[in-house]
Amino acid sequence: MRPGILAAVLMQALPCLAMKEIRGAWVDRSSLVTRAEIRVTMRNLAEAHFNTAHVNVWSRGYPLWKSAVFERETGLPGDPGLPGRDILAEAVEEGKAAGIAVIPWFEYGFVGGYDGYFPGPGRRGPIFEVHPDWLARTRSGEAAFPIQGGGTFYWMSHTHPDAQQFLIDLVREVASGYDVPAVEFDRARYPQMDCGYDDYTKRLYAEDHGGAPPPDNGNDPEWLRWRSSQLNAFINRLYKQVKRADWRVLVSNAPVPLPTSYPNFAQDFSMWLKEGSLDFVSPQVYRRDAASFERDLRNQIRAIDSPERLTPGLDITNSTPAELIRMIEIVREQGLPGVVVWYYRGLLTSGTLPRLRETVFQEKALLPWRTVGFD
């Protein structure tokens, strides 16, 4: 079923066998508007000697592929703003032609709706028209979570088994149905600590605590620990079910860096690595300058048991080409297997792509993971 995406990448990389590293860029919706733009995106990345494109496929409450899972739950085949198209299929085909491995990036994670994009009659997103009981809520019962810059996200309950299985089924559908080497699940976190007060989560917490309800204080240490453990269990289930769908597909995540992630979002990716729930991880070490990046990168390395699986996220939109180049050099000095850059459009508009090709990406690079099953 798989014609071999990594084989295509490796064949184009044969002249430079010495270098092995992930060189990724997140590709957001703005670069997926037309098939022609997808083609240009992949070619531009390939010319700059990137080897992976992390393509947004779960966005604003809709899948960017023809999803039987989503249609089963909502009656809708996909994103109404992109009617009749399978963005993921287009990206995989164009990526393969350019020698770029496409990694489906589930950007919105537990976010099931956005009020600024085809939100439906209830203004919360299509999945909540069918499953209002899946809504995550604050202590006051509010389901709306405002986002920086305007607009509102609606999150799914992080503990509801049906909501969890829906998300897992979406990821499994992509892992088993498309020629991709990995999948990346984002926003596996709480939006804030005043969250987790939906009816299902409150009942589940009470069952684990002798009938006691969750504390009113969202920062209560035990309440925080319990919610984090629920996320840990979900990530582990997601990993195992993806591997059952196709054992060759790697699983990644783009968490908030430690130590910020745990007290603010109940997210502890060091535990995900320790429990074998990720193949590699790209914490968003988004810093303006190389000195602060190096400091925070060292914090990530100290916090985990598996630095060989750490491919940090860098941010060109908050930095300069020169600083980004130095950050990539720091990653190599630490012996890490690569980087992922936020984001392609920023690389393009800042003129960074040719700068990378002239400096740290002068030669093509092989992907560092195993290629068994992709030839």
Cα–Cα dist 342/349, whole Å: 12
**What mean pLDDT comes out for the span 54-81?**
97
Over the stretch 88-122, which tens digit does the pLDDT of each residue have?
999 999 999 999 999 999 999 999 999 999 999 99
Kindly tell me if the per-residue pLDDT of 373 is higher than 80: no
Q: Which domains does the chain have, with CATH numbers?
A: 5-113+158-358 (3.20.20.80)
Cα–Cα dist 370/270, whole Å: 23
Q: What is the pLDDT of residue 249?
A: 96
**What mean pLDDT comes out for the span 252-257?**
97
Over the stretch 68-89, which tens digit does the pLDDT of each residue have?
999 999 999 899 999 999 999 9
Q: What is the pLDDT of residue 368?
A: 87
Question: What residues form DSSP beta bridges with 334?
Answer: none
Is the preceding omega at residue 154 within 30 degrees of 0, hence cis? no
Higher pLDDT pick, 11 / 354: 354
Residue 119 vs residues 106, 201, 363: alpha-carbon distances, Å: 19, 25, 45
- Structure-derived torsion over alpha carbons of residues 371, 274, 254, 186, reported in degrees to the nearest 10: 100
Q: What is the pTM of this model?
A: 0.92
> How confident is the prediction for the chain on average, in pLDDT?
93
Q: Which residues contact 173 (CB under 8 A, 6 or more apart)?
A: 65, 67, 68, 69
Over the stretch 282-322, which tens digit does the pLDDT of each residue have?
999 999 999 999 999 999 999 998 899 999 999 999 999 99
Q: What is the pLDDT of residue 250?
A: 96
Kindly tell me if the per-residue pLDDT of 5 is higher than 60: no
